[in-house]
């Protein structure tokens, strides 16, 4: 019962929410600047920092390394790459800011003990132009250790699920949440808050809806907490329509990057045709981005989806062909044998480092990658500002790079005073991945410390508002307690809805109306409007969510957060009257790209006091020619 809960108050200066890549970067940087100013830094994670977030299982590559030190690339190269991949919709000031700091983050990772592959001459082994190969099973543990050493375990709160912001007008003054281990409600009071609670998964129905339910590419525990928190604070959001659909090895979501880039594999359809070759003329419809190299991720998806829609599946990653080619080039029989062994172990390690279930699936299906091709498929949509998606909060750029209307005082501060965002939580700065998220966390933390130093006064708190938040957040416990005996099956009750059923309803709406897997990623104004009506009913029913214990209470709020991410997404797809990323979603009523009217950011903002949404366009400024 919620009346049993103890309330714990924690007072701090900088509050970091999340314990993933961005948050760990923030912790390391903040501790350095905070010491200089005698400030306190506190970090709160819903899980245990050692293995929390997207990098829990490890990773097999660092996907952002610019190589400025070695003159491999320039910042301009990176900005152009990201601009093109996102079909022109990107904040170049933010991308450049991360890109100029990311290499130093990677060098720190190496110093902390992360094994980065090296060639005979001691140079990093690249997977592709921007990507480095790593032995990354323990990536997160290594990055977490540095964060823990920096701010001290006594300042880290693990297994506390953060729900909502504490606000004083347009200033964020803290956060509230609860422990998933003991009946404690937490009130964190702070002078600045840095949101780094990752992206959102399971907003859409996943491909596996029973047999492998829960398996997803991005982690299911990233549930839209960042988006909910920033929306509820009244922050302007950007690119909420830009979901990411990764192509992955089918059903277990193994990564494809190493196959396409390192092993130079092709993907072919069920008839043996190569969609990247056969469908090339389709790229003309998406000029200028149809002509850029590499072909943008969403257009690569699109060419493949066209094959699938015509019934030309399955699509296969031609692992056997790629390995065969490399082995054939190795030289004599002995060298070829050695090469084959090497490639075999690299292929398995690629999965074992970060997507263990794909290795299990290979074993279960007797797949020897040098002999048999493997199916790949477009996954369900994800919200992730750090990969080839872009959704997140609209944040200030850095003073020296940002055009005037992209700058309001502190790098990575949202439009809410004192509320900073990084990693998946900040939008329009795609392709930061694990390393760039860490670098962006550092950037945001340094700026947040500046904000605290410039604004040292005590913050005001309203006890009634905090009490109301507590009652609202713990309400599902009472909904359950009062009603569970009314039926023989606690999952079905006329008075309440359990989080799993609520999630199924959300996913069905999104799948059918907002362009999920079973709608072939297609939607329209009429579908989106109907989807919004249904989301509205769902929102009414969210008051009836019920939880028998703390874990279910967390799941209640995870699903409320997903629902808010869903609504921001639907509204923004509705607002953008064109199709810009056909391989992410296709608006069948506006099937073409419209450079004249829509080469802009589509932003949105929720006004919590009026319960109203506002949609707005923001201009795109190119800072690189």
Binding site for ligand SFD (CB under 6 A): 17-23, 44-47, 52-55, 59-63, 161-162, 196-198, 217-219, 222, 225, 255, 257, 354-355, 386-387, 423-424, 433-435, 437
Q: Clarify whether 387 is annotated catalytic.
A: yes
Supply the minimum distance, in Å, between the C-beta of residue 249 and ligand AMP: 10
Residue 257 interacts with ligand AMP (CB under 6 A)? yes
Return d(Cα 59, Cα 20) in angstroms, integer: 13
Q: Restricting to residues 131-160, which ones interact with ligand AMP according to CB under 6 A?
A: 131
What are the tokens at 131?
């990507």
Minimum CB distance to ligand SFD smaller for 506 or for 554: 554
Which pairing describes strands 61-62 and 156-158: parallel, antiparallel, or unpaired?
unpaired
Q: How far is CA 601 from the centre of its chain?
A: 19
Q: Which of ligand SFD, ligand AMP, none does 53 bind, CB closer than 5 to 8 A by kind?
A: ligand SFD
Nearest CA to 448 among 172, 233, 188, 193?
A: 193
120 is catalytic: no
CB of 298 to ligand AMP, least distance (A): 11
Which C-beta is closer to ligand SFD: that of 222 or that of 507? Answer: 222
64: three-class secondary structure by DSSP: coil
CB nearer to ligand SFD: give 297 or 322. Answer: 297
Contact of residue 45 among ligand SFD, ligand AMP, none (CB under 5-8 Å per partner type): ligand SFD
Helix (H, G, I), strand (E, B) or coil at 571: helix
Q: Which of residues 263-302 bind ligand AMP (CB under 6 A)?
A: 294, 297, 300
Identify whether 127 is a catalytic site residue: yes
Q: Does 490 bind ligand AMP (CB under 6 A)?
A: no
Decide: is 41 part of the binding site for ligand AMP (CB under 6 A). no
Nearest to 424 by CA among 201, 127, 617: 201
Does residue 585 contact residue 515 with C-beta atoms inside 8 Å?
yes
Please identify which residue in 57, 68, 125, 261 interacts with ligand AMP, judged by CB under 6 A: 261
Instruction: Mark the segment that binds ligand AMP (CB under 6 A) among 206-214, 257-265, 451-459, 609-617.
Output: 257-265
Smallest distance, Å, CB 412 to ligand AMP?
22
Q: Measured from the CB atom, is 351 or 451 closer to ligand AMP?
A: 351
Rounded to whole angstroms, the Cα distance separating 277 from 266 reads 10
Q: Is 511 exposed, middle or buried (0-12, 13-18, 19+ CB in 10 A)?
A: buried
What one-character DSSP code corresponds to residue 223?
B
The C-alpha atoms of residue 273 and residue 580 are separated, in whole angstroms, by: 26
- Is 177 in contact with 158 (CB distance < 8 Å)? no
Eight-state DSSP code of residue 261 = I
Q: Is 188 left (phi over 0), alpha (psi -120 to 50) or beta?
A: beta
Out of 53, 88, 206, 255, the only residue in the binding site for ligand AMP (CB under 6 A) is 255
Rounded to the nearest whole angstrom, what is the least distance from the CB of residue 297 to ligand AMP in the complex? 5
Q: Among ligand AMP, ligand SFD, none, what does residue 54 contact (CB within 5–8 Å per kind)?
A: ligand SFD
Task: Kindly state the number of chain residues that form the binding site for ligand AMP, as judged by CB under 6 A.
Answer: 13
In the residue annotation, 77 being an active-site residue is answered as no
Please check whether residue 218 is in contact with residue 199, taking contact to mean a CB–CB distance below 8 angstroms.
yes
Tell me which of ligand AMP, ligand SFD, none is bound by residue 294, counting a contact when its beta carbon lies within the kind-specific cut-off of 5 to 8 angstroms.
ligand AMP
> What's the rounded Cα separation, in Å, for the pair 26 and 426?
14
Q: What single-letter DSSP state applies at residue 429? A: -
Structure tokens at 584: 């992410």
What does the per-residue mask of binding to ligand AMP show for 103-132, with x meaning CB under 6 A?
A: -------------------------x--x-
Catalytically annotated residue among 127, 307, 320, 552: 127
Q: How far is the CB of 217 from ligand SFD (least distance, A)?
A: 6
Residue 128 binding result from ligand AMP, ligand SFD, none, given CB thresholds of 5 to 8 Å by partner type: ligand AMP
Q: Catalytic: which of 265, 388, 412, 434?
A: 434
For residue 221, the SS3 value is coil
Query: 384 or 510, CB closer to ligand SFD?
Result: 384
Residue 248 falls in the annotated catalytic set: yes
- In angstroms, the CA 258 to CA 123 distance is 18
Binding status of residue 403 toward ligand AMP by CB under 6 A: no
Tell me the C-alpha distance between 502 and 562, whole Å. Answer: 10
User: Which of 52, 179, 225, 388 is in the footprint of ligand AMP by CB under 6 A?
Assistant: 388
Q: Nearest residue to ligand AMP, using CB?
A: 257
Cα torsion angle, 247, 249, 253, 257, sign: negative
Compute how many other C-beta atoms are within 10 angstroms of the C-beta atom of residue 335: 12
Name the residue with the smallest CB distance to ligand SFD.
Answer: 20
397 binds, among ligand AMP, ligand SFD, none (CB under 5 to 8 A by kind): none
Catalytic residue selected from 248, 438, 576, 587: 248
Q: What is the dihedral of CA 434, 439, 440, 442, to 10 degrees?
A: 130
Q: Of the two residues 147 and 527, which places its CB atom closer to ligand SFD in the complex?
A: 147
Residue 301 DSSP label: H
Dump strand ranges (E) for 492-593.
522-523, 586-587
Does 63 help bind ligand AMP (rule: CB under 6 A)? Answer: yes
Q: Which is nearer to ligand AMP, 270 or 294 (CB)?
A: 294
- C-alpha radius of gyration, the chain, whole number: 24
DSSP 382: B
Burial (0-12, 13-18, 19+ Cβ within 10 Å), 525: middle
Choose, from 60, 91, 92, 217, the residue flagged as catalytic: 217
- Least separation in angstroms between residue 380's CB and ligand SFD is 14
Site residues (vs ligand AMP, CB under 6 A):
63, 128, 131, 246, 255-257, 260-261, 294, 297, 300, 388
Residue positions annotated with a catalytic role:
63, 127, 217, 248, 350, 387, 434
């Amino acid at each position: 019962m919620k009346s049993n809960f103890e309330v714990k108050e924690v007072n701090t200066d900088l509050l970091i929410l999340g314990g993933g890549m961005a948050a760990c970067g923030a912790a390391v940087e903040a501790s350095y600047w905070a010491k200089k100013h005698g400030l306190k830094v506190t970090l709160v994670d819903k899980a245990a920092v050692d293995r929390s977030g997207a990098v829990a299982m490890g990773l097999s590559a660092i996907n952002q390394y610019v190589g400025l030190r070695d003159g491999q690339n320039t910042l301009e190269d990176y900005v152009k790459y990201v601009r093109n991949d996102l079909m022109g919709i990107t904040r170049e000031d933010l991308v450049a800011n991360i890109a100029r700091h990311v290499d130093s983050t990677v060098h720190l990772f190496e110093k902390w003990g992360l094994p980065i592959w090296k060639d005979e001459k001691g140079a990093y082994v690249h997977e592709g132009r921007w990507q480095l190969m790593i032995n990354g099973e323990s990536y997160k543990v290594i990055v977490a250790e540095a964060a823990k050493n920096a701010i001290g375990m006594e300042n880290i709160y693990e297994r506390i699920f953060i729900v909502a912001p504490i606000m004083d007008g347009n200033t964020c003054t803290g956060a509230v949440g609860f422990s998933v281990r003991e009946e404690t409600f937490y009130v964190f009071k702070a002078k600045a808050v840095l949101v780094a609670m990752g992206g959102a998964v399971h907003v859409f129905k996943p491909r596996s809806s029973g047999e492998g339910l829960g398996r997803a590419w991005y982690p299911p525990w990233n549930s839209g907490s960042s988006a909910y928190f920033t929306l509820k604070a009244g922050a302007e959001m950007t690119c909420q329509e830009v979901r990411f659909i990764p192509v992955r090895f089918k059903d277990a979501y193994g990564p494809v990057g190493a196959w396409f880039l390192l092993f130079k594999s092709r993907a072919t359809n069920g008839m043996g045709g190569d969609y990247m070759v056969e469908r090339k003329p389709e790229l003309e419809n998406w000029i200028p981005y149809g002509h850029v190299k590499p072909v943008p991720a969403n257009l690569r998806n699109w060419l493949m989806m066209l094959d699938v829609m015509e019934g030309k599946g399955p699509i296969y990653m031609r692992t056997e062909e790629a390995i065969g080619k490399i082995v054939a080039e190795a030289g004599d029989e002995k060298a070829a044998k050695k090469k084959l062994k090497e490639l075999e172990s690299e292929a398995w390690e690629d999965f074992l480092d970060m997507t263990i279930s794909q290795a299990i699936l290979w074993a279960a299906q007797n797949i020897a990658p040098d002999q048999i091709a493997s199916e790949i498929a477009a996954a369900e949509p994800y919200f992730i500002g750090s990969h080839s998606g872009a959704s997140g909060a609209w944040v200030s750029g850095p003073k020296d790079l940002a055009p005037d209307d992209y700058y309001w005082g502190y790098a990575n501060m949202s439009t809410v005073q004192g509320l900073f965002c990084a990693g998946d939580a900040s939008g329009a700065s795609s392709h930061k991945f694990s390393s760039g998220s860490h670098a962006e966390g550092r950037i945001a933390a340094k700026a947040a410390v500046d904000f605290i130093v410039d604004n040292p006064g005590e913050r005001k708190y309203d006890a009634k508002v905090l009490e109301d938040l507590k009652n609202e957040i713990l309400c599902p416990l009472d909904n359950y307690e009062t009603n569970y005996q009314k039926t023989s099956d606690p999952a079905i009750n006329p008075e309440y809805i359990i989080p799993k059923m609520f999630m199924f309803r959300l996913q069905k709406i999104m799948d059918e109306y907002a362009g999920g897997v079973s709608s072939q990623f297609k939607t329209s104004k009429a579908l989106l409007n109907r989807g919004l009506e249904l989301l509205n009913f769902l929102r009414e029913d969210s008051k009836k969510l019920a939880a028998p214990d703390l874990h279910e209470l967390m799941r209640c709020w995870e699903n409320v957060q997903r629902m808010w991410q869903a609504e921001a997404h639907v509204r923004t797809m509705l607002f953008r009257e064109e199709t810009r990323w056909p391989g992410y979603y296709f608006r069948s009523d506006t099937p073409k790209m419209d450079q004249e009217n829509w080469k802009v950011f589509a932003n949105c903002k929720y006004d919590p006091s009026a319960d109203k949404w506002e949609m707005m366009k923001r201009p795109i400024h190119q800072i690189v020619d």
